[in-house]
Structures are given as C-alpha cells and as structure tokens.
Structure 1
Amino acid sequence: MARKKKVRSIVQEFDDYFGTGTLEDWQRLCHDVGLEGYYGSITQCRKALRTVHVNIRDLLEAVKQGEKPRRFASAAQLVAYTVNTRKFYPLSKVKEMGPVKVLLRNML
C-alpha cells in the first residue's frame, strides 16, 4: 500500500509541476533541466529534451530547491544511477505524448 501511495505521489508531483502542457510549460521544463536557448514550439522542446539525461525524481527535487538537476553525459550513466538509487518513475503512468515520455530512458 505504501508503494502505491509513493507512485501516486511522484506522478501527481510531476503533473502539478508540469501543468497542462502549454508551450510555456514545455519551455519551463527545458529551462529547468538546464537547456539554454529559445524553443519556439513544443516540437522543438521535445527534440531538445531527448538529448538530456536527468532523473525525473531528482528534477522535481531540484526545482523545489531552485536548482538545476544533475545531468548525465549518457543514458547509460543515468540508468546506472537510477538503478543504484532506485529512483524510478512508474512506466504504467507514462502518457504517450507527455513530457515524462520524452525524459524516460530505456532501463534494460
């Protein structure tokens, strides 16, 4: 039961952070993960975010503290970190075209 509550909590926390999915929400996400430059469309934001390797839970914590999250040089480094810290985002809660989908990396 505690695990389900934790899953709901992280999903709700990201949903609250991200907002409704406007261009401004996507631009804020780009900024918060440390991407510089201007992204004039959601498509541009998506493409840019695919190059960023951050742990979603760490991202949320960093935003709360007014900091940038740790960025990893590769997906493999992010995967190793995520497995070691067990800071996973529940796959069953990923929306097909949402921001979490863009940030997720294959853990296998």
Structure 2
Amino acid sequence: MSHTPVSGVAAYFAQFEGFEFDATRGIIPEFDRLCSERSWGKKRRQTARRKLNGFIAEEFNAAYGTLDNDLIQWQTLSRELRVEPVPDSVSQCKQAVKRIHVNIVDLLDARARGEQVRLHRNMHQLAQYSIRTGKIFPKKQAKAGLLLKYLLRQIY
C-alpha cells in the first residue's frame, strides 16, 4: 500500500498517532480537539500552536505560491477573495488584496471545504473576530511567504 505524502496542516496533525484530522471541521477546532484529547496544558499548547503556524504558512504557500511577481498566483488568490473583476496585473492584484479583510486560517479552511471564505467589512471587525476565535497568525511567521504578507493586518 503506497501512501501519498502529506503536507501543510494535514502533515502537522499526522504527527500525532491516533488523531484523525478532519479538515471539514476547521484547523483551529481540530487543534483544540487535539489539545483536549492529549490534555495539554497552556505551555505545551502554546508550543504546539507555534509549530502549527509554520504548517499553516506551508499550506498557504502551497495553495497560493510564494513568488511576489507571479500573475497566475495573484489572480488565484484574488479569485478566492472574490475580487471582481480579477485584475490583469500583479500590482492591481496587490492593491485589491490589500483592501480585503480576511482571516488567513478561514481562507485555508474555506479552500479545504470548497466554500467561499468569509470576508470582513473592516479591520475592526476582522480583529474582533480573530481574537474571539483564536485564529491569529503571527506576523513574523507570515513573512515567510511573499503573498501571505499582503493579507496580514495588525490585530493587536
């Protein structure tokens, strides 16, 4: 029996024997379930979350790319963020994406489910939602991918 290599978020969860990751439930709810099942305390949970963030960045980069000047990658991201019409240049895509308020974890969850991602009206709404749900992606981690940095917003 051959196994397909697992990458991104699924690879993170695959490290834990006996844990069956269900992408349809969402990354953070599944992370919370893992922590609960393993009875991890605050310190272990924080360490695990930092590691998970690296896998989230990997997943984003695999889905959307890492090149700052690749029009196809930018247009793919723009389509999933419901930018209409989809811009014809990288600079137009960047400008459009900068105006979008989306939670990065939600973007990946929606992609995994084949659904449209939830967009927020403004930065304040995005910040409140991200804090309430615990779906916060650290700025230093996100800078690993050039496209990813365009979705970063100052939450705190």
Per the alignment, residue 91 of structure 1 pairs with 139
The answer as to 2:55 corresponding to 1:9 is yes
The answer as to 2:90 corresponding to 1:42 is yes
2:72 to 3, 24, 49: 24
User: How far did residue 84 of structure 1 move?
Assistant: 0.7
Per the alignment, residue 33 of structure 1 pairs with 81
Q: In structure 1, what is the Cα distance between the partners aligned to 2:62 and 2:149?
A: 16
Report Cα offsets for 1:39-79 as digits up to 9, x if no partner. 11111001001111110000011111111110111110000
Per the alignment, residue 61 of structure 1 pairs with 109
User: How far did residue 97 of structure 1 move?
Assistant: 8.0
What amino acid does structure 2 have at the position aligned with 1:48? A
CA contact (8 A) 2:66 2:145 kept: no
What amino acid does structure 1 have at the position aligned with 2:95? K
Gaps of 5+ in 2: 1-46
Q: In structure 1, what is the Cα distance between the partners aligned to 2:141 and 2:48?
A: 17
Gaps of 5+ in 1: none
Per the alignment, residue 71 of structure 1 pairs with 119
Larger Rg: 2
Runs of 4 or more above 6 Å deviation: none
- Pick closer, same or farther for the CA change 1:96–1:10 going to 2, 3 Å: closer
